[in-house]
Structures are given as C-alpha cells and as structure tokens.
Structure 1
C-alpha cells in the first residue's frame, strides 16, 4: 500500500466507537463492509495519494473515467486505507444492479445494515441514522441512477457533517462542492506489470522479445485494466505476438485504416468485441443470456434460465468456466457457495447481442420464472432448520428478485405474478426486517390490475401485517378489512385466517385484549381447519399467549408458549420462537425467578437480533433492564443498577426505529415505565440520564455483545407460580440486596 499523504481527515478521530450496523460490531477495528479484492492490486500509488488529498479537502469526491479503467478498485483501495480514520468505518453501497431509482434509499440503508420498522419514508430515517455518524460512504455505480444519487448525497451531506462520500461514476453527480477525480489508465510500467500478473503461468519464461511485444500491446490497449485482463486471458491459446497482431487488425478496421489511437471508450469496446469474436458460439450465446441477471447469480439459476437445445444444461458449467477464464465473468466464493457476476462493460456489450437475437423477452420471462420458483421453495423452507439459510439466500438474491418483481408488474397480463411474488416474500419483509421495501412492492402490486382473487388476497393480508408492524393502523385496517370481506364472499378460509390473525395483532398492541383473544383464537381455529402449520401459526399462538397473560391467566399463557417451543424445536423454527420466549420471560419475572427470566430473554434477544426483529429485541432489552435492577444492589459507578440504566438508554434508541405502537400499550410499555421509575429513585435523575445517554450510543449488536452469550435453554415449567400482571402494578419482591448480581427471588 502506498503511503497516504496529509494529516488525519477533519472530524474523523481514530478512536473506536459503536458501529453503524451489526456487520462491524463483531470484529476488531472500525466497522464496515468493504470487500477484499479478488486479485492483486497493482500500481496507482500517485493516484491514491492524490485522491486521498482530495478526500481530505472535500466531503464529496467522485471518481470518474471510462468503463474498465479501474474506478471501483481504486475507490475501494483508498477506502480500505482510510477506514481507520473514521470511527464509524467505511461502507460500500453497490448501485450498479439498481434499475429502479425508487429503491435507492432502501439499497443504501441495506448496505449500511440499517433497519427501520416505522412507516417513515426511507430517506427520513436514513438521514436520522447517519446524522451523527463519522464515516466514509462509497457509492459505486452511480451512473445507473445519477439524479437520485445527486439528491440523496446532497441531503446526506447537509444533514450529516461527519459523513464523507466517495462516489464512483462514469460522470459527475453535479452536486455543489463536488470534487471530480478523473482516473487515467495505467502508466506503461504499471500496464506491463498488470498484464504479466494476470497472464500468470502463461507468461512464465517470457524473454526480452515477448516483453517488448507485451509493452506494445499494453500501449495499444491504452493501459485500460479490463482490456489488459481480457488480452492476458488469451495467452496460452495465443502467443503475445498473435494477440497483438489480431488486435491491430481490429483497430485498423475500426479506424478505417487511418493511423493513430482510438478513443479510450472505443479501445475497451474493441477489446471486448475481439474477445467476443474469439468465443465459441456457445460462449457467445451464454454471454448474451447472462445479461438478464442483476449482480450475482449461481450455477443452478444460470442452468435454468440460459440453457436450451443449442446450450444444454449439462454443458453450461464448462461454457461458464470458459467465460470466467476469458475474464468476462467473475467467480466469487461466498457463504452461499460459488457465485458469478458478469462484468458491467461485458454486460452492456452482451445486452446488444441479446437484443440482436430477439431473445430478450423470453430470457427475462425465464429469469422471472426461476426466481418465482425460488421464492415459492424458500417460503416452504422457511419453516425448517434451514431458516437462517433461507434468510441469507433471499438477501443475496434481492437484486434479481427486484428484477423479477419489476418485470411482472410492468409486463401486460403478468401483474398477478407480481402480487404472488410480493405476497410470498412475506417471510422476508416481516421476518427479516425489510418492512419498508416490502411495503413498496406490495403497494405497487395492489395498484396493478390483476384478475386473480387469491394473489390479491395474499398481498392484502401481507400488506396489512406490514402496516401493523410499521405503526400505520389506518392502512392496516383498510387492507385487512378488504381481505376479510373478499375472503368471506369468495370462501377463502386460509386468507380469512390470516386477515383475522393480523387484525388480532393490531388489537393486542392497542390493548383491546378481549378482541385480540377472540380474533386470534378464531384465526388459530381456521388455520387448523385448513391444515396450516407454519411460522405464522406459531406466531399467532404466541400472540394469543400474550393476550391471555395480560388478562390474568399466567398458567394458560405458559402452556401455550411451551407448546410453541416444542413445535419450534421439532421443526427447527427460530423466528417465531421470540414471542413465546418473551411471554415466558415475563411470566418468570412476574413469578420472581429472575435467573430463568434472564435466560429466556437473552435467547429472545438473540433471535430478534439474528432476524432483524426490532420490536422483539426492544421488548427483551426493556424487560432485561428491569431484571437487572432486581438482580443488582450495587449503585456505585459501573454497578448493576447503572447497567440497567444503560440498557434503558439502548432500548430508547431502538424505539425510534420500531413502528409497532408498543409505547401506547399499557401492558407492553409497562416494564419500561416501571424500570425507569425505579432507576430514577435509585440513581437520581442526573445519573440516570447520564447512563441512558451512554446506552443511546449502543446499537443492537453492541447490546447483544454487552449482554454476553445466549445461555442454555431453560427447562420447561408447568406454569408460573404467580399472576402475570402489568409490571407497574407489581411491587418488587424485596429491597435491593447487598451484593451486586444477587437475585431477589
């Protein structure tokens, strides 16, 4: 790494602090999501120093240049070198696969690991979350949504004084104060070094003649890294002299026989076109068909979408491997296994060939059909031990799922498929903390004209659920009422069960407990009638347990929750377990068993964190704070009571991102209110506020880490020994004891 000149960036202290998101909180150093480079980084010492100097002077720097010149590699190299200067780290948001500008805010927030469950516009909470952060944000591929990027960056820089943006785009954003850094091709020596490095074993034993020829080849390719990599990939099949001769022939043809260099963008296109000419017919066909994918894809998807009589599925891996060898496709090893990506310049070139083949419409439909099948399978697999894998798979496939949704909702006669996709992804929207984007697609799907009652009903109850979780009761009531009326009229028992279930949840958080119990029992009866057993059914039972507990039947609540735990254990279900764990933890606390309560609530918190369930995590943290008060007796600095106040502050931060109206519920809000009252009495208002402010700097990952590892699963009990009443009516079992960490029960 070349030295980076200049003093530390203004406003970027090197001390470590809380991270922006979960990804960075479990590793040393500043948080971030910067990827490792797939190949060795070569040269660019002067450019890196000059770019670093610009980043020190300006809060927005845009790296521009022709395709294939290495803009992304240089920006990421610099960001990696600078990340220690930002206490909130350096983060990458990839925008190259983004086709819908309306999803720009969602994409950036997702890259930062930020989750919001309110019904606020994504831009509003994105600005709020970054307002006090000191971080470097790399926006790659801005030319896809230039106007949207410009507006977003302008708003971010105005609201977040500690933020710096390093944009990567083929053209400037046009924002006031923007510094543009045009990236030139590699110098002669750097070009030669890159060419030799990428040629690998094919360059072994090269003599002076070959090196001189390679120097001329690098000059003809104008030092453009991607062009050099494409040429280097031909060595072995051709000598360096043959590569140069064939490129020269193509250059002369394009230039009309006139001497002189081609424009740089034409140089790259020439190198890509020459590579395309050298491909076999099968390789050219696969190249064209792969352009329908966005971002990464796996072999199975490529085999389904791109195969056919002229490209059998059993031969596709070999053809794909050749495109990887030719540096047209990049292979990346991920947690989900090997995945592939078509380079952007190669995608642009291949798209023209797909259009020339008049096969684009068929390929886009096959692409949509593959991802419709994937979503269908993942919905079924969600209720299994593979739940975490399903969550990771859908997260990784989101760019392609967006394409599938967009195609279905824009193509005539396909809107019902769009409704099906948006509804079937309920487990991702509500189960993995993607409420805002789910709301976007569900609203779009329901606005589209589709003559299919079942797909509309599913989209309606999912939208109703999303709206409940976002704290938008008006939209929830409207969607669920339409779903119920249509389901009754058409005899759709399953849809009616889901509509009643979500209406029961809304009644529960609104403290209409008799109505909640009535609706949830009715929904569970209908689920049983149609043979439904899945995560939703278990969630409904846990919600019924809460309604029963709050109405003074602790034994009934515990019995319902223990049954949920048994079924969850049998099926490997985790996401729906959180609600049952919370009610069991509340019952244990009410019974004075703080040891058991802590174990249950820590497990509940771990599930909430894993699946971005902010509401579940919030309830667990608030009740854990109350448990901590009752366990502690030490009010000295750093003691257990102060730790409870820190947890209260962390919960307050979480509440700003939770849409579910828990704070308006007398029962759900009671632990927080009781804990705050006790802490103010024990610590005094001033010290309580100081500790709460400390906690407000902790994100959810930091809270989970602070509370330690999840304990062993507590054993089942036949029932709580005392009533589960709203905590503000329950007096402490005893006064604080003398030893920190001792229980009161």
Structure 2
C-alpha cells in the first residue's frame, strides 16, 4: 500500500460537486442537523437509521453540504439503491469520486485503489441506502477508515452496519400534533405541517396554512406519522382531491398515496413500494411478527408481544430475537425510557402497522389475533380498575394512557365484531378511572353508549356499564343524563347487579345532590354509600366518598365545615397513597380557603394540589385549581394574571359537557372574577390577556399558575431561591434552559430555540433535577421566576 502513488484529486468548479442538487426546499430539522453535524465532526463512521421515507437522505445531503469546509478534499454522495451485487460496491464509489484510471491499474482491487487514492485526504463519503448491502458496506467502511485517517463516512440505512466504531443516530419522523393533546389556537405550525403546505403550494396555486385548514392539516400529518415521503405524496393528491377528501380516504392510504414524482427513485414513487422494500429485508419470521404486531395500535411491551403474537411458525421464545431484528431494521421503534423503571416499550408507525394489517387480513388470521389482542387489553383494563385508587395509581394511569391507542382499537373491535359487545362493555367500564382521571369523560361515554344498545339483554356487565355511564355524565356536568343512566342502572341492579354496583348507584345519587349544592340530601346518600363500601372492603370507593363529602360542603358554601371534613379525610386518604382523590380534596381545601378570604394559604394549597394533579394528568383538578387561582388574582387586583388564568381554565373546560362540573356556585365565582377583571382592564386588554392564557398548553398553564407567587411571599421566595444555593449550583446553560422552562416551553421547543438537539435538552433537564432534588418542571419554573426577581 505504501508504494501506491497518491494522485491529485480532480479539480472542482462548484462547491456541490459530488452532491445531488436539492430540487425542493428543505424544511425544518435544525436541531437534528446540528446534532448530526456535531457527531460527524467527532466520529468517523455515522449511520443515519430510520424507516423508509423518513428523510434520511435529505438529512445526509444537508449535513454533507455543511461539512464542505471541514472536508476540503471532497464530499461525495454514493447512491446504492440500484446496486445489487455487493462485490461492486467499491466500483460504485470509484465511479462517483472519478477515480483516475492509473489508480485502478496500480492496485489489485478497486477497494485497494480507493484506499490509495484517498490516502490522508480530508474527505467525506455519503453512502446512501445501505440496508440491502450492510455486510459489504461494513467491510468497506472498516477498510477505508483503518487506512485513511482523515476520511469520514456518513451512511443512511434502515438498519445499522454494525461496523467497529459506528455511531448510529435514529432519524424519526417530523413531530406532529397528538389529537389527545390540547391543540392551542394560533400555535405555530410544526415542520410536518410546513412541509405539507410547501409541497401543496407547488400543485395548488395559492395554497397556504390558514385558521380554517390548520386543524385538518394537523390531523392529516398525524395520520401519516409525520413521514416526509407520505406527506409529500399526500400533497400531490391535492391536484384531484380536497383536504377533507384526503383525510377521509387515508384508511386506504396505500392506494391513495401512489404515483408521486416520476423523477424520484422507484422505491419512493409510492408509499407501498417504500415499505415493500423494508419488508423484503426481513427474515420470514420477522415478517410474521410484523404482521401479527399490527394488531397493536400503539405502544406495547415484549411480554404483550409474546402473549398475543406467538403461534404457528413463531414460538414465544423466538419473539424477542425477531423483535430485535425489526428494531434493527427500523420497522419497530424502541421508545425512550420515561424514567419509571418499567420494561422497554415499542411501537410501529401507523403507516407501517397498516401495511401489516393488510397482510394479516390476506392471511385469514386477522380475527384470531385481534381476539387475542382484545383479551390482552381486557385483562390490562381490569387490572387497572383494581389498582387505580391505590398507591399504584400513578404508574397504572401512565401505563393505561400509553396503551390508549390499543385500548381504543380493542373497543372498536368489540363494537364491530358480532358477539363481542359484552366484552366491550366490560372493557369500557373497567377504564372508568382512565376516563375520569384524564378528563376524557366524553370519550368514555362515547364507547359505553355505542356498546349498550348492542347488549340489550340483562347482564351484570350491563349494570356496571350503566352506573359508570351515569357517573361519567355527572362528572362531565350533564346532571340530567347522569341521573337517567343511574336510574336505569338501579332498575337493572335489582335483577343482575352486585353489591359494588348497588353502592355506586347510591353514590351517584349523592354526587348529583352534591353538584347542585343540596348538602343535606347529598350527605345522607354519601354516608349510606360510604358504609356500603366500607362493608365491602372497597377502600378506594370509600376514599372517593369522603372526597365527595368535602365537595358537598364547598358547593354549598359551608367553608368552615369543608376544612374540618378535609382534615377528617386525611387518615383514610394518605395511607391509600393515590393522587386523584387527594387532588380533588386539595382543590376543595384551597377553594374553601379562598371563600374565607385566606388567599395566601389558598394559593399555597392550590399550587401543591396542581403538582399532585399533574402527576396523573388530572384534567378537572388542574382546571379547577387554575380557575381558583384566577379568582384569587382578581380579588387581589392582579387583573392581567387573573384574565390569563381564567382563559387557561376555560380552555381546559372545553372538553366537558359543562365547565366546572355544572356547579352553580363555581359558575358564579368564575363570572364574578371575569367581570371584575374586564372592568379593571377594559375590553381590549382583558381579551388580549385572556387569549394569551387560552393559548397555553396544559403544561404551560400549570407552569404559569405555579411559577407566579403570591405578592406577600414574593420577596421571601426570591431570597430563598437565591440563598439555598439551588440557582447558583446550575451552569449558565442550565439556567438558560430553566428560564425557558419558566416560559412554558417544552423540551423540543427549547431545543429549537437554542439550536441544540432535544436529547441534549433532556440531558440538561435530568442534571437540573438531580442537582436540585426536584421531581417536576413546575419546581424548576418556580425557582427560575424567583431567581429573576
């Protein structure tokens, strides 16, 4: 090798020689580009790994252009998708770098010629689409990097090369808005929406994002998983279809999203061919697992995959190895840990899952595996029901929420498959804590009211479903409907109901009187229900009774009795260790203190209750706490803060039948605070502050409510923040991030603001919490605000 002559590289007239021209504008991904460039500068072999159509090639090209100054001897792009013979890999690279003929003759093989040609030159090779040649690419990369110390290789692949020294960076789809998150009016569109709008404008003159079409565009991008290829193919279809027609036809996406630009590679001309390419890379058993995993509509764990997907051709003990293979090929995504110490979780993008569902239907085994999946979901829901009012609540609420897509899929199966309605009623009713705890009462009622007519015959599951539906209606503010359903449950319980159902029927009656302020009638029924629950050993039901008793007094305006009853509940609630009822009691106590004019105490209690409610995303508790903090601000003359908090609360209440559970006293308090604030600020200033509050996300609204301290405690709070060493212990970057947390920004938004990766922000957040001993963002926000004063 040392005897090889090192010829001069060919002269280049442009900066982009060796790189294909970009024919469309590159959208977003600045944080990812910054991370990739940083890694390529430090590592010599970097692989961008991700599913087909996710944008690996565009990221590699953009990175290569940014690396030109650091690679003065050349940046070269080698497209490998059409190469089938691994023996010709070095030849393909040689053709791109225009290897002089004398170099080829001077060596025994094209690889040796390339090594001699590269020598000590500072250059970057981009090897695009390596997945069907991973072994050859790994050998090539290892040989080049061993002998050419200044060469770097950036590869794109649907699976790692597994070469020594390789650094793999996962390329994910563009972020999309989750329909389960609160959409904020006027929020800036994400990169996925901007990409769709950009490509749509190329085929429909004058197309632009507007207030009228933002919602449908956001839903379209979410349904397409934020996959750039799918989004671009969908935009092309606007030549013939409206946006609404596109959305309506996405269940047939593989027929709809075909026939893209003729100038692109064949594997990217349709969505199906892009995924067919990935399917062909899998072993036979991996293909079987892919198809069976398609019954999971969202996240899943290994044990669930083993339980549901084992069968002919795929024994349980071989599922792990196949799952690893699918993760390596970017068919299945391994999700980031949430720090809860649980098992690893996985998911498939919906587009890839739907491809598997089509093949499952073709196999004739769809009913078998969807029934298995239903059984798995029912067992999970019933375990959740048994644990949700216990000290295990937080973990099980989070797990059930993560499983919500699969739970919905199982419910849909029960609604549409003959003979499955009874199992569906059991499933929907067992999830009553999920619907209540996360403020999804309307969704719970939707499933129950779809399933009840399908199961008209007397059955214990029907009794439970009726009393749960009555409870959800009452807790959504629909008092009349709640009493009607409770009456039907009471009639059915005489024939088929159990003692737990009978106790909840009595409780529903007491709850109805509670919400309209009829304290004597409420307490009579709640006491009866409490005795029934205590006799049955139902400690969770008993705790909920006690919390509702506290609510009966506060709704009637009997604030001293409210505080006394709250104190009486502690010996029962605190050992139970759950958060939902305690969150309610925290708000009730804070509301009573507000009613007594003890504003500073009330604000302290409400901030604590907010933190507790946020642990399980207790939407109603959060809304009530923010609402009441708004009433306090109005009473203290802090009208801009009051208007913002009232706007945030009203935004959270929109998902319910009637805000504030339809409680007349709470409606009056809200109306009085709004009138006082509007009168003090004037219509224009009030609307501006109110709209700003309404535009906050759930996390931002909580951060705003918690971070702003009561005036009497402001100076002391600031001194404490400066004096305890917490703020001083943070680095300059950590303080910068903490300040942005106080502004209500998510980790992703912070990454975009600072032009760093989200992973880096996540790491800083872990360090901040570790240094300060904090457990929530609200604590960080509070410290940052106090330190700034």
2:452 equivalent in structure 1: 446
SS at match of 1:573: coil
1:99 counterpart residue number: none
**In 2, Cα distance between equivalents of 1:452 and 1:607:** 40
Equivalent position to 1:544, from 546, 549, 552: 549
Whole-angstrom distance in 2 between the partners of 1:372 and 1:663: 30
Distance 2:179 2:172 in 1: 22
Aligned-partner SS, 2:437: coil
Equivalent position SS for 1:333: coil
Alignment partner of 1:301 is 2:312: no
Q: 2:396 is matched with which residue? A: 390
TM-aligned CA deviation for residue 512 of structure 1: 3.1
Residue 286 of structure 1: aligned partner: 289
Q: What RMSD, in angstroms, separates the aligned Cα atoms of the two structures?
A: 4.8
Question: Whole-Å Cα distance in 1 between the matches of residues 548 and 472 of structure 2?
Answer: 16
Structure 1: how far apart are the matches of 2:21 and 2:262?
A: 21
Give the match's secondary structure for 2:344: strand
Query: What's the secondary structure of 1:92's corresponding residue?
Result: coil
Q: Does 1:369 align with 2:375?
A: yes
**Aligned residue among 498, 501, 521 for 2:504:** 498
Contact persistence 1:371–1:401 (CA under 8 A): yes
CA distance in 2, matches of 1:462, 1:130: 31
Decide whether the 8 Å contact of 2:633 with 2:641 is kept in 1.
Answer: yes
Distance 1:487 1:354, change over 3 A: same
Mapped contact 1:135–1:163 kept (Cα < 8 A) = no
**1:269-280 equivalent positions in 2, closer than 5 A:** 271=277, 274-275=280-281, 278-279=283-284
Partners of 1:416 and 1:450 within 8 A in 2: no
Question: Which residue is equivalent to 1:509?
Answer: 515
Q: Give me the whole-angstrom Cα distance separating, in 1, the residues matched to 2:188 and 2:482.
A: 37
In structure 2, do the counterparts of structure 1 residues 286 and 464 end up closer, same or farther at CA, with 3 Å as the change threshold?
Answer: same
Report the Cα offset of residue 437 of structure 1.
Answer: 2.2
Q: Which residue of 2 aligns with 1:525?
A: 531
Report the count of equivalent residues: 533
Cα distance in structure 2, aligned partners of 1:322 and 1:706? 45
TM-fit CA distance, 1:561: 1.9
Map residues 238-387 of structure 1 onto 2, 5 A cutoff: 271=277, 274-275=280-281, 278-279=283-284, 282-283=285-286, 285-308=288-311, 311-325=314-328, 328-335=331-338, 337-342=343-348, 354=360, 358-387=364-393
RCO (CA 8 Å, sep 6+): is it higher in 1 or 2? 1
Partner residue, 1:92: 176
Change (3 A) 1:650 1:459: same
Equivalent of residue 224 in structure 1, options 267, 285, 288:
267
Q: Compute the TM-score of the two structures, normalised by the length of structure 2.
A: 0.57
Within 2, Cα distance between the matches of 1:692 and 1:686? 10
Shift of 1:653: 4.1
CA offset at residue 382 of structure 1?
Answer: 1.7
Q: What pairs up with 1:547-558 in 2 under 5 angstroms?
A: 547-551=552-556, 554=559, 556-558=561-563
- Residue 703 of structure 2: aligned partner: 705
Structure 1 pair 4–650 and aligned structure 2 pair: CA distance change class (3 A): farther
**Structure 1 residue 553: deviation in Å?**
5.3
Q: Could you tell me how far apart the structure 1 residues matched to 2:594 and 2:353 are?
A: 59
1:340 partner SS: strand
* Kept in 2: contact 1:602–1:710 (CA 8 A): no
Alignment correspondent of 1:22:
none
1:174-193 equivalences in 2 (<5 Å) = 174-176=240-242, 183=260
Cα distance change of structure 1 residues 303 and 79 upon mapping to structure 2, 3 Å threshold: closer
* Residues 131 and 341 (structure 1), Cα distance of their counterparts in 2 relative to 1, 3 Å cut: closer
Does residue 473 (structure 1) correspond to residue 479 (structure 2)? The answer is yes
Structure 2 Cα separation of the partners of residues 705 and 315 of structure 1? 46
SS in 1 for 2:410: helix
TM-score (norm 1): 0.60
Partner residue in 1 for 2:565: 560
Deviations 1:43-96 (A, max 9, x none): 338999xxxxxxxxxxxxxxxxxxx9x9x9xxx99996xxxxxxxxxx515xxx
Output the CA distance in 2 between the equivalents of 1:45 and 1:317.
31
Cα offset, 1:401, TM superposition: 1.3
Cα distance, 1:368 vs structure 2: 1.2
Say whether the 8 Å CA contact 1:445–1:459 is kept in structure 2: no
Q: Distance in 1 between matches of 2:271 and 2:698?
A: 46
Tell me by how many angstroms 1:482 deviates: 0.2
Deviation at 1:585, TM superposition (A): 1.6
Alignment gaps of 5+ in structure 2: 1-18, 29-47, 63-130, 132-155, 159-169, 197-206, 225-229, 247-256, 710-789
TM-superposed deviation, 1:689: 5.9
Instruction: Give the structure 1 partner of residue 417 of structure 2.
Output: 411
Secondary structure of the structure 1 residue equivalent to 2:411: helix
Change (3 A) 1:284 1:615: closer
Note closer, same or farther for the CA distance 1:678–1:163 as it changes in structure 2 (3 Å cut).
same
Contact kept in structure 1, 2:559 and 2:593, CA below 8 Å: no
Alpha-carbon spacing, 1:306–1:525, altered in 2? closer, same or farther (3 Å): same
Q: Given that residues 568 and 574 in structure 1 are in contact (C-alpha distance below 8 angstroms), is that contact kept between their aligned partners in structure 2?
A: no
Answer 1 or 2: which has greater helix percent: 2
Where do 5+ consecutive residues of structure 1 fail to align? 13-35, 49-67, 81-90, 94-107, 115-128, 143-152, 188-221, 226-262, 712-745
Shift of residue 177 of structure 1? 7.8
Q: Summarize deviations over 1:342-389 as a string: whole Å, max 9, x none.
A: 577875675576567654333222211111111111222322344233
Measure the CA separation in 2 of the matches of 1:656 and 1:266. Answer: 39
